[in-house]
C-alpha cells in the first residue's frame, strides 16, 4: 500500500489520526489488499479491465469504514464502486466485509482523492460521485482544509459522464452554506433542487455512524445533488422545442 501522506500538495483535507490497528484489520490489509485494493500510480485506470466487466462506475469519497459503499454495492450489483479513503483502520474493516460478503464490485484506493482524480481517473467515465459527511473542519482557520472546494469541483466536472450526478451530505450548517455558495457561483453545475436549495434526503442512502452521530448532537442534515450545467441547457432546449412544436400543431 502506498503512503497517502507522501505527496506534493501542501494543504490536504485530511491529517493522520490513525489509532492502533486491530488484528482483524491488520489481517485484512495484509491478505486482501492485493485482491480489492488499487495502489496509487499516476497513470489512468482501465475500469473495464479492473472490474473485468463494463458497468457504471460510482466513486465514494472518504468512506470511513465503508458502510455506505457496502450497502450500495449489495443493493446494486449492476454497478462498480470505487472507494477512496486514507485511514487504514477503516480500510481494513472494509476489506474484511468485502471478503466476507464476496463482493466483486468494490475496489479501494488509499490515497489523496485530489491526486487520484488528477492522475488515475479518466475523463467522462464516472456515473456518480458520493461525498457523504466529509470532515467539516469547523474552526475558521481550518476551512482551507475542507475537501469540497473549487479544485475538487473542477476535477469532478471533467470526470462525470454526460448525465452524471454528484451527491453530497453534511450535518454542519456552516459547511452546507459553504457548499451552496460554491455551487451557486459555479456555472459548470446545476442544482437539481433549484438554485440555493437543498434536496430531500435520498431514501436509498444508508444512515452511517457519522450521520447518526450528527442526529445525536441535534444537528440537521443537508443533502445536495448536482448535475452538469451543459445538460441543463440541452434539457431546456429540448423542452422549448417540444413547446414550440405543440403550438404549431
Which residues are designated catalytic? 135
* CA-to-CA dists, residue 103 to 63, 71, 76, 148, angstroms: 16, 11, 11, 29
Lookup: cell for 134 = 466529509
Residue where the block lists cell 475496489: 107
CA 189 to chain centre: 16
Q: Which residues contact 5 (CB under 8 A, 6 or more apart)?
A: 16
The pairing of strands 160-170 and 57-61 is unpaired
| Residue 42 DSSP label | S
Amino acid at each position: 500500500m502506498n503512503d497517502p501522506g507522501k505527496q506534493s500538495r501542501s494543504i490536504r483535507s485530511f491529517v493522520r489520526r490513525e489509532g492502533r490497528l486491530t488484528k482483524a484489520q491488520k489481517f485484512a490489509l495484509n491478505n486482501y489488499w492485493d485482491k480489492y485494493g488499487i495502489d496509487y500510480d499516476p497513470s489512468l485506470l482501465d475500469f473495464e479491465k479492473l472490474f473485468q466487466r463494463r458497468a457504471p462506475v460510482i466513486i465514494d469519497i472518504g468512506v470511513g469504514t465503508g458502510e455506505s459503499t457496502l450497502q450500495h454495492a449489495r443493493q446494486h450489483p449492476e454497478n462498480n464502486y470505487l472507494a477512496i479513503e486514507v485511514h487504514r483502520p477503516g480500510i481494513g474493516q472494509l476489506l474484511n466485509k468485502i471478503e466476507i460478503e464476496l463482493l466483486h464490485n468494490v475496489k479501494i484506493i488509499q490515497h489523496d482523492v485530489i491526486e487520484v482524480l488528477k492522475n488515475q481517473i479518466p475523463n467522462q467515465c464516472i456515473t456518480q460521485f458520493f461525498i457523504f459527511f466529509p470532515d467539516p473542519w469547523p474552526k475558521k482557520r481550518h476551512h482551507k482544509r475542507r475537501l469540497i472546494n473549487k479544485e475538487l469541483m473542477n476535477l469532478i466536472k471533467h470526470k462525470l459522464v454526460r448525465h452524471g450526478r454528484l451527491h453530497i451530505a453534511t450535518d454542519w450548517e456552516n459547511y452546507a452554506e459553504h457548499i451552496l455558495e460554491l455551487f451557486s457561483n459555479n456555472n459548470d453545475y446545476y442544482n437539481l433542487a433549484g438554485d440555493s436549495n437543498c434536496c430531500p434526503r435520498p431514501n436509498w442512502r444508508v444512515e452511517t455512524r457519522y450521520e447518526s452521530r450528527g442526529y445525536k448532537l441535534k444537528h440537521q442534515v443537508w443533502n445536495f445533488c448536482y448535475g452538469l450545467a451543459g445538460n441543463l441547457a440541452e434539457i431546456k432546449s429540448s423542452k422549448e422545442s417540444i413547446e414550440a412544436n405543440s403550438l404549431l400543431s
